[in-house]
Amino acid sequence: MDRFFVDKASIDTENGKCTITGEDVKHITKVLRYREGEKLEVCDGDDNEYVAEIVSMSKDEVNLDIIEKRDIKRESDIRVRLYQGMPKGPKMEYILQKLTEAGIDEIILVDTKRSVAKVDSKKEGKKIERWERIMYEAAKQSKRGRIPSLKAVLSFKEALEDMKRNDLNLCPYEDERNIPMMKEIKGTDAKKIGIFIGPEGGIADEEVASLKENGAKVVTLGPRIFRTETAGLVATSIVQYELGDIGRLEEE
């Protein structure tokens, strides 16, 4: 069953009604070719989801009757924030899509010393809009209860300040050999975890030093070196497996 996110204001739980507007209307009517009487899932972006039946459609909106509220916990209790050194080209889209599937809470793009990719200030708005759409579609596909947020683009100094919001910050680093990531997270009661990932060229030595000075734990992901587009996914999956809900049943 296909899922669509709607504003809370578009869901009238008292009368059992819901309205979908915007770009999803064309997707529902023209691409997926839904018809009146068919069912789909709607979610308010705050982990509340419903099964709804289409009662009428126009070019501007799809009107539905809510027939069931689902009590399924989709979101992890662990909030993972990824601080991603700006990657090049299509790697960004891969990172946004796959981290959304893995349960990321927020992705913060960072302009690091070795970042080659830059966002033109004149085109930033359109790029952010496209990137957010990628996360939106990935959230629908993976049946998330919320759409992760995207923050762009912070300087390294701004990222260090932003990381103060977290209970624990981790930095996988290819030159670290002695401290496995699992050692730093096993048994922790941290609920907000930041993960800092460098761009293609890695994290500069002085940036690693600054991360340490600001309390981040520099760790290794193991004996192999991951690309920037896979390192964040691997690190997030480790955190969500050990502390969150990946690989677990809801009742566990």
Return the ∠ at Cα 137 (arms to 132 and 139), rounded to 5°. Answer: 90
Residues of the chain with CATH 3.40.1280.10: 79-242
Q: Tokens standing for 101?
A: 């599937």
* pLDDT band at residue 71 under the 50/70/90 scheme: confident
* Assigned CATH for 3-70: 2.40.240.20
pLDDT in tens, 210-230: 999 999 999 999 999 999 999
Q: Tokens standing for 228?
A: 């920037």
Question: CB–CB of 87/95 below 8 Å?
Answer: yes
User: What is the sign of the dihedral through the CA atoms of 42, 91, 105 and 127?
Assistant: negative
Position 48, amino acid: N
pLDDT in tens, 77-92: 999 999 999 998 789 9
Residues of the chain with CATH 2.40.240.20: 3-70
The domain defined by 79-242 carries CATH number 3.30.750.24: no
DSSP 151: E
Residues pairing with 229 in the sheet: none
Q: Is the pLDDT of residue 251 over 60?
A: no
Q: Is the pLDDT of residue 152 over 90?
A: no
Q: What is the mean pLDDT of residues 57-83?
A: 95
| Model confidence pTM above 0.85 | yes
